[in-house]
Amino acid sequence: MTLGCLPLTARWAGDPATAEARRYVQATAAVVLLGTVWCVAYLGFGVGVEAVAYVFVPIGGGLAAVAVKSAGRFWRGVRLALVLITVGYAWLAADMLTHAAEVRTRQMPAPAAACVIVGFLVAIAALARVPVVAAGGSERWRMALDRMIAFVGCAAVLWYAGVEPMLSAREPWSGPGILIVGLGFLVAVGAATKVAHIAGGPVDRVAMRFIAAGGGVPSAVVSVLAVRYGYVASVPAQAIVMPLAPLMITLGVLAQRRADSGLRREPGGVGVLLPYLAVAPLLTVVVSEPMRWPVRVVLIAAVVATTLVMARQYLAYRENARLLRKARIQEERLQHEVSHDGLTGLANRALFTHKSRKIRANDSILLLDLDDFQTVNDLLGHEVGDRLLVAVAEKIKFETGNDGLPVRLGGDEFAVLLTHGDPEDLADRLLTAFQHPISEHRLLVQASIGIATAGPGDTADAVLRNADVATYTAKQRGKAGFVRYVEGMGEPVLAHMRLGGELRRALDDGELRVVYQPIVRLDCLRVIGVEALVRWHHPTRGVVSPAEFIPAAERTGLIVPLGRFVLRETCRQAAAWLAEFGPDALEEAGLNVSARQLHDPDFVADVAGALAESGLPCERLVLEMTESAALRGQQVSRALYELDRMGIRLALDDFGTGESSLSLLRAFPAAIVKLDKSFVDGIEIDDGQPAAVDARQAVARAVVQMAAALGLSTVAEGIESPEQVATLRELGYTLGQGFHLAEPMTADEVSRLLSHQRAGIELQRIKSLLHPYG
């Protein structure tokens, strides 16, 4: 339901103080209802005695006094005023009940009247001390003028409509009665003129309006009833009208409870209607005393003109209020956009930075990085990836609850600033939540989570850095888990990061070398091609293993310029060998290409540029990539088909170790399949158990048969013995590479190998003449 301007909704019921205030509203409303029923019974059917009418006011006043429990100077004053007024009317009720036969002629006892009068004065003093909006200069004077105008205008209307008729009534009022009604009017006027200037203060505006109604409405109705009906009106006045004041006050208490619980209404225009009350005295003169018609016409015209000006000003105010409201909504929207992520609705990095500046000891930061999220974008598209990010954000927000601030830092990286609860418990709940398919596409997602807890004096940057180190460690340990940061954990990570910085310098200073491992025909052991490999000659650490610096290059993005260097050097050297030894000496030169390179939009142009610069024919270049790299989405697929149309041959490296080998042979424009070393190891072993031998050879046999059916060449990798060569030949393999055949060697050593091969020297004899690079 709605009472006055305060909606009583079910959402208040969750606050105990609000629920208690609502019960007092119901109790005082029941007093009014009970008084109404008794009044109807008495006036209509003669039930009871007239003195009973006086008991409803003190009952309602007592309930209202008990209901006022809000802290603050104003509400303490209201409670004191209610106690005094209740005592006065209780005294009056007791006096009337003990002199029931003299109710019509008996005056209010002086002590009772004194209590009521003092109570109203206390209420007026409390109103006067309510703090208003801070203002200075001309604004302070404008506020003062508005309040003076409103006070004079309201006072004139109340004088004309209430006090003056009481003074001139046929049945005269007592002095205390007139004074009490007048003080009630003053409470109403004071509250009405004060309410417009207390925006944002400790006293709620809606509560103040109810206080004004509690003083003005009963006083006005009582005066009208008394003037019109005389002493008979005292029955409905005492039983129905005056108990409305406690009801209004309890509604004010309820409004204050609502504001204190965080549901305070936004203030409207401050004092915008108060100056318009200046026309009230003019209206009073026009409709009151008799006067000559020329004067009356002038006054009426003045009233009409003033009313039109008021209407014009009010329309302008409404338009300005609408524009201000629209501007405020837009400002709030912009503030939200600045501080929140547009896709997921979570807080963004800017808000996270602002909030984390106040990080306290034992607060924690959880840094969450989705594992292999790029694969979703590559295979299913960015729209599906975005929906997955939204679903992940909802999971993080739900699991975090009110214990912290969930944040999207960017891309597939999220964080939680946890101020309550156990961070490891939250991390465990998040990982458990990700074990089930999410988003409308029912996708599984995994995440690596790093946890860092602030110690005394720790800065937010330090805690975030520690969480980042823990996340990196979680990924290094196999992903899909969480790691809590401990002292010293960052040292190997920092060393890895430094390695990336040194790799950048190595590229610039020419510390990287390209070596070549020959690819050999297994029947005649003739070198038909080479695979380019990169080695790093560090000035202080010596030769750095590719297993160490290639992951650093992938993580830092340096794999793109590194791959570009290997590509250009391989093409240049292959063209030089072609020119020196002829087209039959070396059929192909291959190099490995990473998924990161294939995603580079300039990769195809780089390949074309390297071929054009070196003069190497396209069909002499082989680009090798793993199955996982070939399955990385539309960008990669377009690049591979462009390379295929250029005449460049594509090879699937480490074939058989991926998850989609069979389907990939049909979807990928491959020319060569390279059997992974893991299927060559042990292939030659004959332990006398045919089933075991067949099992060890099954994958190698299946690969060569499928390749032959599809018209693809095959190369066996990792050959380390002559027995493996023999077995692979029996299975149908014609090409191979490995340490048994030839180790990686420098370009000069390859040149010597090709020179000896042209002279007809066998490969085994050539190997004894060379010094492998290794």
- Residues with a catalytic annotation lie at 717
Element (H, E) at 35: helix 16-45
> What are the distances in angstroms from CA 510 to CA 386, 503, 537, 555, 597?
41, 10, 9, 21, 21
CA distance to 499, 532, 552, 553, 568, per residue, from 502 (Å) = 5, 22, 10, 10, 22
- The answer to whether the beta carbons of residues 91 and 58 sit under 8 Å apart is no
Q: Is 364 in contact with 451 (CB distance < 8 Å)? A: yes
CB 485 within 8 A of CB 464: no
- Pairing mode, strands 735-736 and 713-716: parallel
Per-residue tokens: 122: 């206390």
DSSP 106: P
- Residue 347 tokens, joined: 């807080």
Question: What's the rounded Cα separation, in Å, for the pair 746 and 573?
Answer: 11
Count CB atoms within 10 A of the CB of residue 447: 27
Find where tokens 């004071």 sit: 190
Residues 485 and 431: beta-carbon distance below 8 Å: no
Rounded to 5°, the CA angle 525-698-730 comes to: 30
Q: Are strands 588-592 and 527-538 parallel, antiparallel or unpaired?
A: parallel
- Measure Cα distances from 695 to 79, 659, 660, 698 in Å: 93, 19, 20, 5
Q: Which residues, in sequence order, are CB contacts of 56 under 8 Å at separation 6+?
A: 31, 32, 34, 35, 38, 238, 239, 240, 242, 243
How far apart CA 499 and CA 549 sit, in angstroms, is 7
**How far apart are the C-alpha atoms of 673 and 675, rounded to whole Å?**
6
8 Å CB contact between 674 and 717: yes
Say how far apart CA 78 and CA 190 lie, in whole Å: 14
CA 429/CA 383 separation, integer angstroms: 27
**Contact (Cβ atoms closer than 8 angstroms) between residue 177 and residue 242:** no
Number of other residues whose CB lies within 10 A of the CB of residue 383 = 10
Burial class (CB in 10 A: 0-12, 13-18, 19+), 628: middle
Please give the Cα distance from 292 to 287 (Å, whole number).
13
CB contact at 8 A, 163 and 181: yes
What are the backbone angles phi and psi of residue 739, rounded to the nearest 5°? Answer: -65, -30
CB atoms within 10 A of CB 582: 11
Pair 619, 647: CB distance under 8 Å: yes
Euclidean distance between CA atoms 197 and 151, whole angstroms: 14
Query: What whole-number distance in Å separates Cα of residue 233 and Cα of residue 716?
Result: 113
Alpha-carbon gap, residue 174 to 573, rounded angstroms: 120
